[in-house]
Amino acid sequence: MDANEIIERRACISGIGQSEVGRRLNRDPFELTLDGCLAAVEDAGLRVDEIDGLSTYPGMGGPPGFSGAGAIAVHDALRLELQWFDSGIETSGQLGSVIKACLAVGAGLANHVLCFRSVWEGSAQGTKGRAGVMPGGGQRSQGRTPGGEWTLPFAAPSAAVWVAMFAQRHFHRYGTTREQLAQIALNARKNAALNPKAIYTEPMTLEDYFNARMICSPFGLFDCDVPCDGATAIVVSRVERARDLRHTPIRVEAVGTALRGRPSWDQFDDLSTMGNRDAGAHLWQRTDLKPSDVDLVELYDGFSFLTLSWLEALGLCPVGESGPFVEDGKRIARDGELPLNTHGGQLSAGRLHGYGFLHEACVQLRGQGGPRQVAKPNPQVAIAAAGGGNTCGCMLLTRE
Amino acid sequence: MTLRKSFPVFDCDAHINDPIEIWSEYVEPEYRDLVMDTYWKDNKQSLLNGRTRVPGAANYEFADWSYNPASISGPGMQDKRVLRRLQQMRTTPEQKDYLDHKGAYESHARLRDMDLMGIDQVVIIPSMILNNLPYAENAEGASVLVRAYNNWAVDYCKAAPERLFPAGLLPPQNPTHAVEEIRRLAELDFRVALIPAHGRKRKLPQSHLLRHWRRRGEHGCGFPSVRGDGARPRNPYLSGAASGAKFSDGFAKPIHDERDDRQVDHSKFYEVDCRDPGAIEAAVRSIAASGPIDSLFYCAGLPGGSFSGVDVMLVNFLGLRHMAEACVSHMKPGDAIAGISSGAGMGYLMAMERIQQLIALTGHAEARTWVETNADEDWFEGYSFSKLPYVVAIVEIEEDPAVRLMTNIVNAEPEDVRVGMPVRVVFEHHSDDDGDVWIPLFEPDPERS
């Protein structure tokens, strides 16, 4: 492919920001969103009036806590003058919104696009936990969940049940075990201890992992991410406009957005890979870099199994072998060959829903991880991947 | 000031929102620690069994920009859509305070509200205590707490005793204490008492209460369950003391026929070991000797836990059946028999084959033999019925493998379900106001296994 056609290469990440993050902040979700946005703009060294693009996932709506604010609300609050804006939930995962921003700056539609993802699920769910906001579990679906008629009658209201089945399929097909899966949770918890904004930082042992209550086999409590409140924002800029900004730009080398099978959580042809398979493969088609060039990875762990699935989808290990790949816990550790989820993932740092991984990838590439900075010096290449099922996307990032 | 109207209005379900003073001022100081470990509410949290935070409907549980729905809950506000919109509505602190109707805590404010609404008289009912008390593990603590509540209620109603009536709260953990409290409340001129039940439409309580519900058997406590849809009888029941169950018509309040001026004697107690068919028959003969039996309310039961599975089945099912059969010949058409069902209820679809085996054995002795024979099976253990997980699966249709259905696997032990196992469809019929629906479930296919 002609490099000129890889439009995302014209984009870079010039600023990152995040509001305070907590289990139940009980703060106004809109204020939290703006905190994150303003932090990113400031980090980029830009003024608010220099932002001419806006992108977010999912936009307005969703179950309580799922979105702190949509694009229009932020556009208005910040009094932006935009050349391009977008929001939506039907896209290649949460990072689809950032990928679109890259395309917008690549096309010359905007110079600096503010992208944000804000959640307040911790406060919204309150003491009832997820059941309080689940269709069928606490509230009626009312057509909000696409395909709900095929899942709710069987008490399978959410991805917790569906992805659990995909994990079972992977276990059955490849012999993956819970002990291997546990490494994702254990690694995240270890890294979270070094992240001042992480929700859960207490050490977790394998015994703790197995003693936790089962949610939906094979997932126990620690295989599922922790709902929280927090807003994360990213500024995507045209490379030419970013060179004199505050930080060294993080380049977008390639993106993966493909979804080739049926876009269905249960009809997709290979349930053990989900759509991650296609987005992962797509990314490598758009670069000369190889999986072996990657220094660190931040891979979605809404459920621990999703991380295993991304490792395979991105070719970081052979298909079916993600279990053995993570088994010793050393390879994916902060001082290992392929540090993974260095901020603690969504399993321990909090379910910031996709953007947390991109934020952390940038922190690491900039060398700003502090105590949790990866041990290898000068990391150059990172991957941020988010999503699963029929909504997945990934980005290959390099330090300029 | 009352409105002019030509009919009296009586609200028999006038909730109050349990104020903190019930705990801080009405629980006797010497029992404070005990009640703190049972069910406690203060200005920071509501705590169940000393370890689980539960909703207490206190103002501090709701964000400053929101409001406390407990104090203004009412018709139409239970609709989930309305509730969701209300929960996302922003209020100022002044609005929040305004919406927190003081009548929920304080009687003079209540009387003003009643006047405004044209309500003449109310029976006040507690709120979160009803939800949480059934899961309290300590029977003595629960009894102390209900005393405190009842004493508070008396004081609340003193503002206007001809308009405010307290409903007495009884402790579900211990029938003996409940009876004692009934007697004390009668002295205090209470007209009605209530006993909170585990009454949820789903099989199990909310997740944060689950561990308490499971442990209640260990403490020898039970509690009544009086709601459920007709198809799936719900579980637990009042436990008796020690190893048998007390059969007492002091519990079963006779349905007194006004046309019949027979005086019913409430004071007879018969101790019966409900595991023993002979004892049941003897007791029924004695009762029937003093007159016909108008109704049977079989609420004896064993909660599993320290009781053997065989004893659980003997008391909870075989005893119920035997007693009902013994009573029936002394009853007339139209009389009532009520039982609180037990182990067979939970997950009955999965246990259907075994249940049918058991109920086909109509004699007490042969049924007992069946129970004893199966007593060592995994599925049989006391309350294991109530702990059955359900299985969700994605099934590929043989006639067109590109088509898959999300479904439940039924009629199989969860441990026996395997990826790739052959299954066949079983349709489950449901109907409601909108019509009939058949849900495709799948069971192991014996012909292709």
CB B388 within 8 A of CB B412: no
Which among B206, B392, B418 has CB closest to A161?
A: B392
How much is the average pLDDT of B60-73?
Answer: 77
pLDDT digits (tens, 9 = 90+) for B207-244: 555 555 555 545 444 444 444 333 333 222 222 222 22
DSSP character for A139?
B
Mean pLDDT (chain B, rounded): 76
Residue appearing with tokens 């001082």 = A335
How much is the average pLDDT of B413-429?
Answer: 89
Give me A111's structure tokens.
């110079």
Query: What percent of chain B clears pLDDT 70, i.e. is strictly above it?
Result: 73
pLDDT digits (tens, 9 = 90+) for B126-145: 988 988 888 888 999 999 99
**Res. A295: pLDDT tops 70:** yes
CB B64 within 8 A of CB B97: no
CA gap A116, A57 in Å, rounded: 7
CB A230 within 8 A of CB A350: yes
Closest by alpha carbon to B47, among B37, B57, B33? B37
How much is the average pLDDT of B385-404?
Answer: 78
Amino acid at B4: R
Is the dihedral angle over the CA atoms A167, A168, A173, A177 positive or is it negative? positive
Identify the bridge partners of residue A393 per DSSP, sorted by sequence position.
A386
- Three-class SS state of A391: strand
CB B303 within 8 A of CB B236: yes
Q: Torsions phi, psi of B233, nearest 5?
A: -60, 140
CA gap A267, B396 in Å, rounded: 10
B116 at A interface, C-beta within 8 A: no
Helix (H) or strand (E) holding B169: strand B164-169
Helix (H) or strand (E) holding B124: strand B121-125
How much is the average pLDDT of A359-367?
Answer: 98
Please answer yes or no on whether A139 and B208 come within 8 Å at the CB atom.
Answer: no
CB B316 within 8 A of CB B301: yes
Strands (E), B409-434: 423-432
CA gap A355, B425 in Å, rounded: 43
Strands (E), B228-278: 245-248, 269-272
- Three-class SS state of B141: helix
**Res. B202: pLDDT tops 90:** no
DSSP character for B314?
I
Sorted by sequence, the CB contacts under 8 Å of residue A210 that are 6+ apart come out as: A178, A182, A220
Residues of B in contact with A156 (CB under 8 A): 392, 406
CA gap B166, B154 in Å, rounded: 7
Give me A189's structure tokens.
């918890």
Size of interface A-B (CB pairs under 8 A): 59
Identify the bridge partners of residue B335 per DSSP, sorted by sequence position.
none
How much is the average pLDDT of A238-252?
Answer: 92
**Angle, helices A178-192/A304-313, rounded to nearest 10 degrees:** 100
A165 at B interface, C-beta within 8 A: yes
**Res. B115: pLDDT tops 60:** yes
Mean pLDDT (chain A, rounded): 93
Residue appearing with tokens 């039961």 = B301
Cβ neighbourhood burial of B415 (10 Å; 0-12, 13-18, 19+): exposed
Residue of A nearest to B393 (CA): A165
A128 at B interface, C-beta within 8 A: yes
B420 at A interface, C-beta within 8 A: yes
A143 at B interface, C-beta within 8 A: no
Residue of A nearest to B208 (CA): A128
Q: How far lies B30's CA from each of A310, B26, B144, B276, in Å?
A: 60, 11, 10, 42
Give me B220's structure tokens.
């020898």
What value of ipTM does the predicted structure carry? 0.83
Please answer yes or no on whether B390 and A142 come within 8 Å at the CB atom.
Answer: no
**Res. A142: pLDDT tops 70:** no
Give me A130's structure tokens.
């997820």
Q: Residue A254's pLDDT is what? A: 98
Please answer yes or no on whether B63 and A153 come within 8 Å at the CB atom.
Answer: no
Helix (H) or strand (E) holding A219: strand A219-220
CA gap B323, B247 in Å, rounded: 11
**Res. B204: pLDDT tops 60:** no
**Res. A164: pLDDT tops 80:** yes
Residues of A in contact with B392 (CB under 8 A): 154-156, 161, 165, 216
Per DSSP, the residues of A177-212 read -HHHHHHHHHHHHHHHTT-TT-S--S---HHHHHHS
For residues B19 and B295, which has the higher predicted lDDT (pLDDT)? B19
Residues of B in contact with A139 (CB under 8 A): 80, 84
User: Where is average pLDDT lowest: A36-45, A250-259, B57-66, B294-303?
Assistant: B294-303
CB B157 within 8 A of CB B191: no
How much is the average pLDDT of B51-73?
Answer: 80
Residues of A in contact with B404 (CB under 8 A): 266-267
Q: Residue A132's pLDDT is what? A: 57
Which among B61, B80, B390 has CB closest to A155?
A: B390
Closest by alpha carbon to A118, among A326, A324, A359? A359
- Three-class SS state of B106: coil
Q: Residue B415's pLDDT is what? A: 81
**CB-facing half-sphere around the CA of B10: CA atoms within 13 A:** 5
pLDDT digits (tens, 9 = 90+) for A205-230: 999 999 998 889 999 999 999 999 99
Per DSSP, the residues of B55-111 read ----GGGS-TTS--GGGT--TTTTSHHHHHHHHH----HHHHHHHS-GGGT-HHHHH
Q: Residue B385's pLDDT is what? A: 37
Sorted by sequence, the CB contacts under 8 Å of residue A166 that are 6+ apart come out as: A271, A272, A274, A305, A309
Burial A288-319 (b: 16+ CB within 10 A, else e): ebebeebbbbbbbbbbbbbbbbbbbbbbbbeb
CA gap A95, A97 in Å, rounded: 5
Cβ neighbourhood burial of A82 (10 Å; 0-12, 13-18, 19+): middle
Helix (H) or strand (E) holding A159: helix A159-174
